[in-house]
Every structure is written in C-alpha cells, then in structure tokens.
Amino acid sequence: MVTDTFLFNNNHVLASPGTRYFGQVIDFVISIAIFLFPFYLAPVFGLEQGTVSLVSFFSAILYFLFSDGLPNGQSLGKKILGISVISTTSGKYCSFTQSFFRNLLTPVLGMIDAIFILGKKRQRLGDKLAKTIVVEKIAKKRKHNRQ
C-alpha cells in the first residue's frame, strides 16, 4: 500500500482538504467576531449606530479579503492549524494582492469553489486566479510505506 503525500515541487506538503475547510470555518468565526466587536464598544464610546455598522462591515470584509497576506501567508485560522498560503510562481508567502484575489470569489461561488480543493493541486478557483496553494507550514518528511 502506498501512502499518498501530495507534494508541491517536492518541497511542500499540500494541506489536506479537511484542514483547509476547518481553517475557513475558523476564519469565518473570526470575521463574525470582528464584525460584532464594534457593536460591543459602541455604548462605551457613545458611537452612532450608522458609524458602528460601517466600521463593523468594512473591518470584517478587510480581514476576510486580506488575512492570507498576513506574515507567513497565514490568516489567524491558518496559523492555528499550521498551514500557509504560498505563491505557485515564486514559492514566497502570499501577498496582500494575492490574498485579495484568492478570497474575492469565495462569497460568490461558495461551495462550488470549495469543491475544487478536492483536485490534484487542491486549488480553489481563487487559488488558481491568485496563483497560490495552501501548504503545511512545516513540511513534514513523509515516506511512502509499502506493505
């Protein structure tokens, strides 16, 4: 029996679909928390409802779109799970521009986009657009086991 490792350029182990989906859930919860936090602070600082709504909405959207461009190509969800987004062309960590393009389609395409993670390179449509992949942060050396 051969254990499948899904390597990219023989250097990086591709993140599993389950880990990627779970990271998406964590980042969605973080986006909701970012959205709700200003509403909690509004009474303390006497802010208007309209102002709080705008700040909440745009803060959550900014995190969602640009979080993969944070240091080491890791949103908070990816950092927790030990995975990173890297460029397929340079091998460098995801830039803010790449993060924007890889996450832009997610709200529109949703589950259709998520199905693409099951492909050979495990790239969503957003990953293909931004030329990125998601890898394990510390590439574990795995051996093919034969029985």
How high is the pLDDT of residue 110? Answer: 80
* In the chain, domain spans: 7-136
Contact 69, 130 (CB under 8 A): no
How high is the pLDDT of residue 114? Answer: 81
pTM of the full structure: 0.81
How high is the pLDDT of residue 2? Answer: 31
Q: List the chain residues with pLDDT less than 70.
A: 1-10, 138-147
From residue 131, give the alpha-carbon distance in Å to each of 8, 16, 33, 58, 99. 13, 18, 29, 26, 10
How high is the pLDDT of residue 48? Answer: 84
